[in-house]
Amino acid sequence: MKLVLFDLDNTLLDGDSDYEWAQFLIEKEILDRDEYESRNQDFYREYQNGTLDIVEFLDFQLRPLSEYSRAQLNQWHEEFMKVKVHPMITQAARDLVLQFSGDLVAIVTATNSFITRPIADEFGIEHLIATEPEEIEGEFTGNVVGEPSFREGKVSRVNQWLNAIDLSLTSFEETLFFSDSINDLPLLDVVQTPIAVNPDPKLLDHARLKGWEVLQLHRKQ
């Protein structure tokens, strides 16, 4: 059996769910455009450049979750899936996931689990390793539980998950990780088969240097 790990944003998705969630709330006038839009774009650029301060970003991204009821957030998320997420799911991505239906598959993403759990379900992927927002009595506090699933944190979180099910990275005939981002080098470096998917320029250069497979999953028409 193989261990197959997928990054989510700009890897399985043809776009970024974290960025689009904030844009969705701005477009619905739930978040103030003047206050949030430029910051959202700045954080996204920092992520692409590999310079994102994850603590500062999570404060920005999780605070709105604490300001509304879970019921209201769930209702908005259903609409978000329809108008933002479904158009980012390509048949090529669905087909890629299906190739590994007999293996242990997980999504490993820095995006928080409130946003990403329904997306993982859409792909039929049970196991999700994501940044976990804190909840008290079912409502979000705006804080994070545990280590964010970001950069080296992805490696730690994957190891913790595997240990919890009495496995390790050495338990499999092959370990694979698909990602688009230079931020994911720590996890790409520890699997046997790293695959760069529509990689950002820094990751593309690194993948070519290392001789990694480069997959163009989302070809622009």
- Are 90 and 14 in contact by the 8 Å Cβ rule? The answer is yes
Catalytic option among 7, 14, 16, 184: 7
CA-to-CA dists, residue 16 to 10, 12, 22, 47, angstroms:
6, 10, 10, 11
- Judged by DSSP in three states, 172 sits in coil
3-class DSSP string for 86-135: HHHECHHHHHHHHCCCCCEEEEEEEEEHHHHHHHHHHCCCCEEEEEEEEE
Q: Which amino acid is at 138?
A: G
Helix (H) or strand (E) holding 203: helix 201-210
Whether 9 sits among the annotated catalytic residues: the reply is yes
Q: Catalytic residue numbers? A: 7, 9
